[in-house]
Every structure is written in C-alpha cells, then in structure tokens.
Structure 1
C-alpha cells in the first residue's frame, strides 16, 4: 500500500487505487499523512477543513470521514502493511511505516544526494525523487490556508531538489541537461532567484551568454515591478560572474562566436524581454535571412549556434547585407584590437531578430553614419520611430551584420526608458559595461560621473560598438557615450532625442510603418507564403488594420498561427470591431496596447489630455486650430503640445500644420479616456513637458 501527497491525494494497493470519496475526506487523510505517527487533534482537523466558521455539526462530519477512511483502508488490506487509523480521545493517529508515503521517500532521496561532493551519484537520486511527483502537491484537498501552506512547503522542497539536480549536472559539465531541467521551473517560478541564477550559469556554459544575461534583466524587472526590490546576492553574483567570465574569455562551451558571423537557429531555452521596441521584423519586400555569413575581412566564417527565442521575437536571422556595401573596417579604424587587454572581448548583443525583412534604406543609412571615419569623432546614430515599428530589431540587425568591424567588442543595454518600472540609471549601465570590459568589481566607481570617465578611458583606443536601446531622453544617454574615435553608438528611442542631435552631432535614422507589400511579406514570413497568397486582399486589409506596425502584424500572425484553420479574412473581420482590435493585437506580454501605454505614461497630464482629445477626431487628420478646439486649449499651448506629441511619434506631422494620429493610437486613447475619465488619461501629472 502506498500513499501519495505529491500530486492528487491517493492510496494504491497493488495496481488498484482505493476510492477515497469527497474532498473533505481526502483532506482528512492528507492532514494525517502530513503528520504520520503523530496524534492530530480533532479541533485542528476542523480548523483546516473549514476556512470560515465551521458548522455546528463539524465534529460529527469529521468523525464520519475518519470512520469511512478506516473502513476503506481495512478493505485495502491495511493491517498487512502495519497501518492503523486509531482514535485517542478527541484526536486521531495514523500509524504506518513512513516509507509508504511518497513525500517521506522524496525527502530521504534528496537528503542522500550530494550534488557538489558526489554529483554522479546525486543525479539518479534526485531524478528518482522528482519522479515521485505527479502534479501539484495535495491536489484534491480543500482550499484552506493550512493546506495551501503545506502545499507551498512541499513545492519549495521540490524546487530545491530541481536546483540541486541542475548543480549536479553542472558539476559534471552537463550544462545542456542543467539548462533543460532548470528552464521549465524558471518559467513557472520567475521570481525564484536561486533558480534563475542556476539557469543563467547553465545557459552561459552552453554558449548562450546573451540568453543568460536576458534572464537577469527580465528577473530584475519583475522583482522591481511586483515586489519593489532589487536582485539579491545570488542573482547579482551570477550576473557579475558571467560578465567577468565574458571579459576573461572563459567558461563557455564550444568555439567562440565569430566577430562578424550571425548565429544560426537557436535552442529552445527561452528568454525575456528587456523592454523597448521589440517588434522584430520590419519592412522591405525581400528577406535578408540566410544560412551563410558575409566575410568582414575577406575570411569566411562559419555560423555559430545561438540562444533561444526572446520575447521580442528575436531568433533566426540572416547575415547577408541588404545595401550592397561591403562590411569593411571603418575608415580610420585600426586593423587589430591594440587595447592591451587579454581575454575575449565582450559580445553582449541580443540574438538577431527573427524573420527580419527589408529596411535596406535604414540599414544603409546606419552604415553611412557609423562607419564614417572622416570626422575623427565617435559616430552616433539615433533610430527613432513610433512604438512597435521595429527600432530595436533594425539596430540589432545592423549590429550583428557589422560586428566584425568592431573587434574589441559589442556592448548592449536596455535603458528601460519606456518600460513598466523606472528607467535604468546610468551608474547601473556603466557598472555592467565596466564589468564586461574586465574591470574588477571592487574597482567599479559608485558614482555615474566617475564610472563614465573610467568607461571613456578604457575604450578610448578600442574599436567598440555600443547599442543603447529604449532611451527616454538625451540626458540618460550622454554619460554612456564612448569617446574614442573608433567607437560607434546606436541609440533607439520613441523620442527624436533632438538634444543628442544638437550637442553630440547624432544622426537621426527614422523608421516608418510598412506599406501593403512589405506588411504582406512579413505576414508571409510568419505564416508561410501560401497562406497569404490564398487571400491577398485580406492580407492587405490586415496591414491596414494593424496600421502597418510590425509589432501589431506579428501579434496578428500569432493569432493566426494559434488557429491554423482560420483564413486571413476571418481575423480581418474580427479586427474590424474596434472594441476588440487592441485586445486581439496582443500576444501574452507583447502587444500594441502595452507598447502605447508605455509611451502615454511618459507624457505630462496636459499632453495626455491633448492626445485624448485628438483621438476624437473623425478621420485622424487635423490642424492646430481643430486640435485647440477639441482640447479646449489656447493656440500656443496646443502647438507646444502637438510638437511634443510629434517628437514622441504619437502624432505625425505630414506637412506644415497637417497632423495625423494613427487608428490604433486613437483606439488606445479612447479606451483610456473611457476607463479613467478625461482627467485620468495617462500622464505624469507633474506639469512637465513629458520629454524627461
């Protein structure tokens, strides 16, 4: 006879399972099994079975369940196993050999395992222990606090065993197995720092360092948003350990990633969002994906296996350029590192964007700006555009294509300018950069000013690429800019960042929405060309309903992928309902409504009210006079607000005094207005101009 607590409550004898009856009877048995060979008072059973005030006849109910359990166990031959359910006054005792309880066997197996001292023995012990679990612990009991607490305690023991099994595989050098074991648990328990730290180390040792770093940033953001705390010592320690190992060039499995080669199809280890504009593919009628790699210095390089899919849809991407130019060394650059630093250079770029299409004009513009060595200055480009247009994808694609032009490394940071939590302080980003460049932790300055000075000094003679994603303001970016003439910087933002243009000679690279041909090509890349060719008119309508935004089109493709029998016309019909459109253009934590919410949250209260008023325009086309009438503002106040909304790409100025607001932005602003009232629509409420 065996008793199961690690899953549905059950009693089996031979191959048969005894019928235990209703939830309260199973709960009585579970409570007795949680305290085997110990008297359990009747009052404790009553308190556990009823959350609220128990009924007057509660004692009789419990006594009846105990009597029925005693009969069921006897019918199953309990006496032959040394099992007895006895009554001791107003308490009950379940006497039995404890090894008949799966939770007891689980604990003994885990206690025997020594993952660090004897990993080869620990692996089978821990696997056997975890194999006893058949689902969430105490399934089938009543939903009262005592049972919830007991189930939570058992789950904690399971997760501790999972972490131990991951460490055992890691000690044996079996990092792929460790990553596979830890990944599922990490997805289901995203705030468990020890688990995430173990997964980060496993991913790093399998060569998926960018995925490992993304798990840190994802968990840090969740801790901040849900608990209001920073990462603890274990999680931060794993992060710094990976950065130091990256700087030293050690700890990774397999060959080092080539300087200019893009990675091939990655594994399924998961990843996370760093925030920012993660819309993936973005325009153009032909694919730049492919299996080969373009030589940077005349030497062919083989592709290297990459990491897993990110929440921003980064994945397999091709490496051939799209602008017809050769990926050579920037003019004026040095032919070799010359930095005097030993170890591999940092390569912190995220995975290349999946199914990246077109954007030839923008990629060529970035090449022109960032490889211009004639000025003797560190080139700086700002990729700007509305939420969901694919800014991050474009910048990361270019960075991977031209990584070989920056042999001293590629740095990447999400500045969180348009995220749920606070924007990233410069000191935090600089600390990460300095660690990645090999600076010992104790030598990283605590002040942003000192860290910025040290960063500029370290990279002054290096050929380094810096990608600063999701910036809110020019002031946030300036301390992070390298000063060396051979360094280049790409910044992405929903704001134009005119301040960087004025003071740092940043060159803007604007990203626009997709036309019908480009949007249909993106749908074809996501869904397969046959499905789109089956109904080209519906594909064109979907592009219109998505305002040509790659993020919205990707969300639409996700809806169709999940419904393989749907024709494109069926989704188009659903999207015509303006009340449902924003909800349908979402996929888990990714969607156009979430992206727009982050933009509107950065507006002042006045500008948010102006946007809400503009959303009432019949066709989304208006001039300053009509905007003033809709908002009830004076002309000067209205014009200033329109300028700020245009700078944030929430409104587009098509010509002098001709403004447009996209349909999706209108729908979002109307929804916000309807939910919170006009005075509650977005905004910081501080009277600022919303530009940071």
Structure 2
C-alpha cells in the first residue's frame, strides 16, 4: 500500500487505486499523512477543512470522513501493512511505516544525494526523487490556507531538488543536461534566484554567454518591478563570475558538445524488458547520436527535472535540445506545426498559473529497442500538417509492452509538450470495472488547476470543459489500457497542438474510423531481441553461457516481454540455475504458466483479463481453438472444433483477432499462441468467467 501526496491524493495497493471519495475526505487523509504517527486534534482538522466559519455539524462531518477512511483502508488490507487509523479522544492518529508515503521517500532520497561531493551518485537519487512527483502537490484537497501552505512547502522542496540535480550535472561537466533541467523550472519560477543562478552558470558553460546574461537582466527587472528589491548574493555572484571569466578572455569554461556528438553510455543497458532490443551500440544506432532518427527533438527533459531512461545511449542533451533554451531563449524541438510557448502551462484564456501537470508514470526501466514503433509514434504525433490533434493507438496482445512503449515515447518527447503531460489508466483490461470517463476527466481537470468545486459532475460537461481548457495548449495525453473507442472519445483533447496516445489490446477500429487514429502495432520479440532482453535482466554473461537455451526460452515464452521478464525473475531468484534448467522446467506445459508468473504479475493474469472481457460464445470458441494440435487452423476447422455454423465462427474469429487473442497470418489462416492455448485449456469449461484477479497488461 502506498500513499501519494506529490500530485493527486491517492492510495494504491498492488495495481489498484482505492476510492477515497470527496475532496474533504481526501483532505482529512492528506492532513493525517502530513503528520504521520502524530495525533492530529479534531479542531485542527476542522480549521483546515473550512476556510470560512465551519458549520455547526463540522465535528460530525469530520468524524464521518474518518470512519469512511478507516473502512476504505481496511478494505485495501491496511492491517497487513501495519497501518492503523486510531482515535485518541478528540484527536486522530494515522499509524503507518512512513516509507509508504511518497513525500517521505522523496525527502529521504534528496537527503542522501550529495551533488557536489558525489555527483555521479546524486544524479540517479535526485532523478528517482523527482520521478515521484505526479503533478502539483496535494491536488484534490480543499483550497484552504493550511493546505496551500503545505503544498507550497512541498513545492519548495521539489525546486530545491531540481536545483541540486542541476548542480550535480554541472559538477560532472554535463552542462547541457543542467541547462535543460533548470530551464523549465526557471520559466515557471522566474523570481527564484538560486534557480536562475544555476541556469546562468549552465548556459555560460555551454557557450551561451548572451543567454546567461539575458536571464540575469530579465530577473533583475522582475525583482525590481514585482518586489522592489535588487538581486541577492547568489544571483549577483553568478553574474559577476560570468563577467570575470569573459574579461579574462576565458570564454566558456566547459565546451558544449556539438549536436549529434553526445557521448553514449552503453546503449543496451537502458530500458524496460517490455520493449524490444537495441541494435548497434546505442538506442538509435552505433554512432552514439543522441537524437531519434525520425524525431525533430533531441532527448527532452520534462519539467520535473527527470531525464527519461538512465543508462541509454542518449544520456546527454545536444545543443538546442527540447526543453533546453536555444540561443534566443525559446524552447527548441517542438512538434511540427506546434505553437511557441514559454512552457508555463498557462494556456490562452485559461487563467491558470503554476507548474504544468506532469502525470506520466516513471520512465520504464531497461527499455530496449522498439525503434520502429517509437519512430512511428514520432511521425504520427508530431505531424502538424493536418491542423488536427494527432491520435495514435498502440495495440497488441497482452504482455507485449504497449504501456512501456507509449510511456517511453512520452518521456522522450515530454519537452515537446511544455504545457503538461496527462496519464490515465482506463482499466479496460484490469480487475473490476473500467474507469468511467467522468472519473478520468475529473482527475485531468484537477491536475490542470480547476478548483474541485468547479469540476462538472457529468461526463459531457467535464469533457467540454477539458477541451476548452487545453484548446490552445501543447499537451500530451496518454490513455492506457482502453477497452473501447467509446471509452476514449470523451477524453480526447481538441486543440491542434495536443497529441494523444492510446494503448489497448483491441485494435479500436472505431477511433480509426471516426477520429482518424493511426494504429501502431506491437509484435512479439524474435530470438535475438528476446535474448538481448534476457541479457539486460540477468547480465549478458549468464545468457552467453548458453545461447541455445536462451533461444529456447524465447520460444517457450512466445516472445512476449512480460513472459520473458517473469522467466528472468525466476532465474534472478535462483542465481545458480543455468538457463537450460529453467527451459527444461518450462517444457512441462502443466507448469509453464505458473512458472511464468512473479507475485501478482504474469502471463496467466494478463490473459485472464483479456478472456474476462469476451462474450460467453467467444470464450467457448477460444477454448475450442486451444485444442488445435499446432495452433494453426482455418475457419472451417475452427467451426468443426467449436460446433458453430460458419458465419458464427467467422464473426467470432474476427473478434478474437481484434483482441489479439488470435492472429490472422493470411486470408483464412489463423494462429493461436502456445501460451494462449495453455491458458484456454486450463480455463476450459469456465467460459472465460473466472473471477481470479490479475494485473492486466503488466507492461
């Protein structure tokens, strides 16, 4: 169980998020989490929840919210995590391990980082800390002074961490990285002198002296106009340091690497196992060039200071990278046809101020390859020639890595969408009901700065407000795990500078027909890619010991990254096992699905969520297809196996193909993967109605 304060208030257990109810109930939880393991008086809760005079029944309201929170936590298994919401007279105590709170973990990671003394260690620590942020702190709480003050304090800690990350990169001589990280934060906080001073030094060290000095004069004018004060010691110190260096004829003290010449740090080591494998020496080829072959931006860094995917070949920013300032002080690397902007997130007429929402999940770990699919997404989502909001659908079977591919691209190009990145799990193939559009729209509107009381209750009104707010912004929306086109349509932004990525196990042909969505299909991995993925998980030496066994493992896992990841988890837990030993165990079809599971994730759980969405007729057809000797069949054989008439069989095959449970290799030539066959055989007779849980796509 995890508690989130650094963004929307949330409680998650496993892959599910608990329903916390209205804003005041979320606010009660937030206040208790801000003071964990400390008694919080009832009067303090009342004072914080009502900005004006509280109503006469305020005590009863708070007590009711506490009671519901206690029940919600209990339903989520709080006791197993050592969590207790206790009453002590007229006060409440939330007793829990503090490491379950993201704000506590953030503070610990920042405290461990030593940007000057140990910069190489500080960079990953600070990146991980900043990666915990999912938007403005305490989103979803009431708008009272105590919560505003607490949110401000957390934001100050975030900015301090951004400054520290910039210093760490500077100490390592990675001044382009430092400039890219500090730029977005400086735009959003133009009076924060320490931030501006760090950006000035980073710009100077990359040879952009004029940009550095312009930042000083711009900030000096703002300080005088807004606060009536002169620059402080840190800002003056940076300015004088640059002037002295120029007077001495030193020019830039740290030469910027030319674009396309960024150093590589070992291409095959970055990325998530749900991707493919890298070809050549780096993510985009052996040259070490830091730019995607088809992209128009070098590797962007989002406004939280996170650089996507540590350990890939493109770890350094090229001059003029997206999210970094160019020679004219503007952002470079925007999507084709996109409008210019400061990146402040304040769309035209919105009246919103503050940092833009950054709701993307953390970048996928050890993402390998998928260059063709990433390039296809770049082509679709940066196409400014149509004047429409581009839409891509990443589709494929369960466990093939759709989410990882979409999130990887989103992090790579976050800098091209300076007004924010929104993310939502639509739960189309997860446990329980799919997420209703009104719920997702409510979260989006809150993240965009809409006060809770102004969020419409109807999906239609919320959708209209959402489209209005983002009409002139450059915003990226990632909608994960969609079940149907109808679930997606209310969530689509309408502005021509917005872009949307949808992932689904279904092809979502409806979006292609009505919204001109462009499909980007993901296939299973080949032998070379699968072996490279195992090498990334286990270490290349272990795979090199027995390449034949590695190839067999790829076959036994049907080339699915999720299954290969589970196999790697089995081998990681058994360091003395050779790959051949696991391959021998997986040959036993009765044990294969169980072995390809790791705790709450695995290929059986993923397939169960797909089969659970089938009609009874289609589930029985899939079960009949599983009896095929080699997994290859045509419509006539399928009809004979299922006992259906030809028309009913063809309709069912079309639906199973659309869901990627069956693959149509050629006209009237269908295949069903071995793992799907094994699962369907195990589930035979249940009609796909098993109520056993799973985690969905797993990637």
The two structures share one fold, judged by TM-score above 0.5: yes
Equivalent residues of 2:309, 2:363 under 8 A apart: no
1:85, 1:93 within 8 Å by CA — same for their partners in 2? yes
Given that residues 86 and 93 in structure 1 are in contact (C-alpha distance below 8 angstroms), is that contact kept between their aligned partners in structure 2?
yes
What does the per-residue CA deviation read over 1:405-464, in whole Å, with 9 as the maximum and x for residues that have no partner? 101000000000000111000000000000000000000000000000000000000000
Whether the aligned pair in 1 keeps the contact of 2:320 and 2:326 (CA below 8 Å) is no
CA distance in 1, matches of 2:303, 2:108: 61
Query: Quick check: 483-492 or 27-36, which moved more?
Result: 27-36
Cα distance, 1:89–1:548 mapped onto 2, change above 3 Å = closer
Contact 1:308 1:315 survives alignment (8 Å): no
Alpha-carbon separation, structure 2, partners of 1:70 and 1:395: 36
Q: Equivalents in 2 of 1:482, 1:439: separation in Å?
A: 16
Structure 1 residue runs of 5 or longer lacking an equivalent are none
Question: How far did residue 294 of structure 1 move?
Answer: 2.8
Segment drifting more, 36-45 vs 288-297 = 36-45
Q: 1:199 maps to which residue?
A: 199
After superposition, what is the alpha-carbon deviation per residue over 1:205-256, rounded to whole angstroms, capped at 9, x for unaligned?
A: 9999999999999999999999999999999999999999999999999999
How far residue 334 of structure 1 moved from its aligned partner, in angstroms, is: 1.1
CA contact (8 A) 2:216 2:235 kept: yes
RMSD over aligned Cα, in angstroms? 18.6
Gaps of 5+ in 2: 277-282, 343-348
Against the structure 1 CA distance between its residues 198 and 516, is the aligned structure 2 distance closer, same or farther, given a 3 Å change threshold?
A: same
Change (3 A) 1:540 1:367: same
Q: Kindly indicate whether the alpha-carbon contact (under 8 Å) linking 2:421 and 2:477 is maintained by their aligned counterparts in 1.
A: yes
Q: How many angstroms does 1:332 deviate by?
A: 1.5
Mapped contact 1:615–1:665 kept (Cα < 8 A)? yes
Residues 579 and 37 (structure 1), Cα distance of their counterparts in 2 relative to 1, 3 Å cut? closer
C-alpha distance 33-489 of structure 1, shift in aligned 2 (>3 A): closer
CA deviation profile, 1:76-114 (whole Å, cap 9, x unmatched): 999999999999999999999999999999999999999
Task: Provide the residue aligned with 1:223 in structure 2.
Answer: 223
Give secondary structure in 2 for the equivalent of 1:411.
strand
Q: Which moved more, 1:299-308 or 1:592-601?
A: 299-308
- Distance (whole Å) between structure 2 residues aligned to residue 667 and residue 372 of structure 1: 42
Seen in structure 2, the aligned counterparts of structure 1 residues 110 and 359 have a Cα distance that, compared at 3 Å, is closer
Q: Give distance in 2, aligned partners of 1:669 and 1:503.
A: 34
Instruction: Choose the corresponding residue for 2:318, options 297, 313, 321.
Output: 313
Q: Report if aligned partners of 2:208, 2:327 keep a CA contact under 8 Å in 1.
A: no
Contact 1:349 1:396 in 2 (8 A): yes
Aligned length: 687
Q: Deviations over 1:366-398 (max 9, x none)?
A: 000000000000000000000000000000000
Show the counterpart of 1:466.
477
Deviation readout 1:540-569 (Å, 9 max, x if unpaired): 000000000000000000000000000000
Larger Rg: 1
Is the alpha carbon distance of 1:621 and 1:93 closer, same or farther for their aligned partners in structure 2, counting shifts above 3 Å? closer
Task: Report which stretch shifted further, 249-258 or 423-432.
Answer: 249-258
SS across alignment from 1:12: strand
Please identify, of 675-684 and 317-326, the stretch whose mean Cα deviation from structure 2 is larger.
317-326
| Deviation for aligned residue 1:352 | 1.0
Alpha-carbon spacing, 1:222–1:521, altered in 2? closer, same or farther (3 Å): farther
Of stretches 363-372 and 674-683 in structure 1, the one that deviates more from structure 2 is 674-683
Look up the SS of the partner of 2:184 in the other structure.
helix
Q: Does the 8 A contact of 2:98 with 2:104 survive in 1?
A: yes
Cα gap change, 1:159 to 1:490, in 2 (>3 Å): closer
How much does 1:684 deviate? Answer: 18
With over 3 angstroms needed to count, the CA separation of the structure-2 counterparts of 1:452 and 1:201, relative to structure 1, is: farther
CA shift, 1:130, in A, is 29
Moved over 4 A (4+): 1-276, 278-293, 295-327, 337-340, 674-688
In structure 2, do the counterparts of structure 1 residues 374 and 195 end up closer, same or farther at CA, with 3 Å as the change threshold? Answer: closer
SS of aligned partner of 1:679: coil
CA contact (8 A) 1:280 1:314 kept: no
